[in-house]
A and B are shown apart, each in its own frame.
Chain A
Amino acid sequence: MIWSKEETLSREEIEAIQLERLKETVARVYERVAPYRKKMDEAGVCPEDIKSLSDLSRLPFVTKQDLRDNYPFGLFAVPREELVRVHASSGTTGKPTVVGYTEGDLKTWTECVSRIACMGGATRKDYAQICFGYGMFTGALGLHYGLENIGATIIPSSTGNSQKQIMYMQDFETSLLVATPSYALRLAEVAGEMGVDPKRDLHIKIALVGSEMLTDAMRDEMHRVWGEDMLITSNYGMSELMGPGVSGECEYMDGMHINEDFFIPEIINPETGEVLPVGERGELVITCIKKEGLPLIRYRTKDITRLNYEKCRCGRTFCRMENLSGRSDDMLKIRGVNVFPSQIEEVVLGFSELGPHYEILLEREGYNDKLTVRVELLTSTDSFSVLEDITRRVREKLKTVLGLDAKVTLVSPNTLERFEGKAKRIRDLRGIK
């Protein structure tokens, strides 16, 4: 089902809405947000220069650092009393980044998430269990109000207490799961430990996963443990832009439809900042064109993807962004080679002898980077040759995919750390960046 008629507008209609809203947003931000006005002045561009969508590229970028520099409310475009809610990002270093919503922003947010939930197959009949952490993180409340808006029944179980989560799923006949892909896999593990088979004993047919990349291998693994008939779609967003609801996959799972009447996407070369032609892979930059509280212009998401403007089989005309292939800031440089953790994940998940959890360890040995991948061994054996064979095959596969020699370490099942929110699988002990 398609939630809003806007999702099927023609390209001309979409661009007309975008241009009108862009002009309005730039004028308002220039007037009300001093730090951004300063950036525009320095770049020698004023609101009147924005005459077409292609003029967008004349505007300066906003980065996470700008949000930190203006902590907490410096980039807001409304007086504080206009805000009805604030959230903060999970900032792992220093101050978090604070975002705020007016009443209008909350309505926009709910609309955006309702569309994404519908794309992922949700209906008013669903019992939706939200296994994202409630609190300052935008994920849980974003999905909460969007799903509630379409009439689904919300089970706000948050994260943690995984055994109780499984009990709710069984007793309430949960039909829809909201979680990170890694927590969805963890929940299946916990169910197994409790003697509950997710395929037979639970009723979950839909998973809306987000806040973490969903690789094809991860989706396959989810199908294996949760059932082949589960509809697993990923959705995308970040608190700086709104939270979840920026884009999401439809049932064809061929890229995430961006809510283009609210967000304008661009793809840039992360090193030079230049806009790349349609179809090329690079860093996603998003301009919010209908936000009141925190309307960020040309926000650098650091996420690596590419755009596809072809009409989708589902009937939607909004452009699609490919599932993320990494983040420009968690791209690892190992012995001069660019490596995305997702590439390592694909390799690990390709081995039935190994569990889906892994850890990437980077160390410095003399002048060399040393990469170690720690994986859980599921197979039982009494022979070293079997263990050596698995290690060798994983190592060879990593070499083919990454072009790098890695050390592979086998550990016992259930010994690597499990994550309920975003997984932190990389330990970089090199002391250099």
Chain B
Amino acid sequence: MFAKQLTIFIENRTGRLCEVLNVLKKNDVNILSLSLADTTEFGLLRLIVDKPEAGKERLAEGGFSSLLSDISIIKIPHSVGSLQELLEVIDNSGVNIEYMYGLSIEDDNAYVVLKASDAEKVDKILDENGVVTVGCEDLIHIK
């Protein structure tokens, strides 16, 4: 299954990240995972949140433009080599991985967020190979 990622453009300036987070906090949007990639000029804040659509709307009201994109949240065993095995499956299919970041939150399992050049195709491949993907809402219940 796909999940939605919320991406916000922020320029490198003191306090800018805090302003974005403040909008989410005030509107009770919970952050489940994040990745902040930056250049010297600006950064892209990529968030997995419990309410992506509402988050986008609230951010727009606060003057921040953001984008919802399709990503896969993949469950893999929390063990040496499992990520490499996953990538092998994807690489063999010829789909390009644009970026990924991880969240390791269970004793036995870890989760990675993966953005592929072709979200639909990668989803199909994962399914065929028995790899489990989850939605944002599923992450909330993971303890």
- Residue numbers of A with Cβ under 8 A of B are 377-384, 387, 409-415
CB-defined contacts of B11 to chain A, threshold 8 Å: 409-412, 415
The tally of CB-CB contacts under 8 A between chains A and B is 49
Q: Are A380 and B63 in contact (CB under 8 A)?
A: no
User: Given A410-B11, A412-B11, A415-B11: A380 and B42 within 8 A (CB)?
Assistant: no
> Digit string of B96-107 for contact with A (CB within 8 Å is 1, else 0)?
001000000000
9 nearest A-B residue pairs (beta carbon): A382-B7, A380-B67, A411-B11, A380-B65, A382-B69, A414-B63, A382-B67, A409-B41, A410-B42
Main secondary structure of the interface of B (DSSP, over half): strand
B125 contacts the other chain (Cβ, under 8 Å)?
no
Distance (Å) between the CB of A195 and the closest chain B CB? Answer: 11
User: Given A382-B44, A384-B44: A413 and B39 within 8 A (CB)?
Assistant: no
Q: Are B63 and A377 in contact (CB under 8 A)?
A: no
CB-defined contacts of A378 to chain B, threshold 8 Å: 65
In the complex, residue of chain B having the shortest beta-carbon distance to the beta carbon of A378: B65
Cross-chain pairs A/B with CB under 8 angstroms, 28 sampled = A377-B9, A377-B65, A379-B65, A380-B7, A380-B9, A380-B65, A380-B66, A380-B67, A381-B7, A381-B9, A381-B44, A382-B5, A382-B44, A382-B46, A382-B67, A383-B98, A384-B37, A384-B39, A384-B44, A387-B42, A387-B44, A410-B11, A412-B10, A412-B11, A412-B16, A413-B64, A414-B63, A415-B11
Option from A379, A383, A410, A414 in Cβ contact (under 8 Å) with B41: A410
Contact-residue size bin, chain B (C-beta under 8 Å from the other chain): 20 to 34
In the complex, residue of chain B having the shortest beta-carbon distance to the beta carbon of A388: B39
CB-defined contacts of B63 to chain A, threshold 8 Å: 412-414
In the complex, residue of chain A having the shortest beta-carbon distance to the beta carbon of B67: A380
Distance (Å) between the CB of A374 and the closest chain B CB? Answer: 9
Residue among A380, A382, A384 having the largest count of chain B Cβ atoms under 10 Å = A382
CA distance A412 to B45 in the complex (A): 13
CA distance A414 to B98 in the complex (A): 29
In the complex, residue of chain A having the shortest beta-carbon distance to the beta carbon of B64: A412
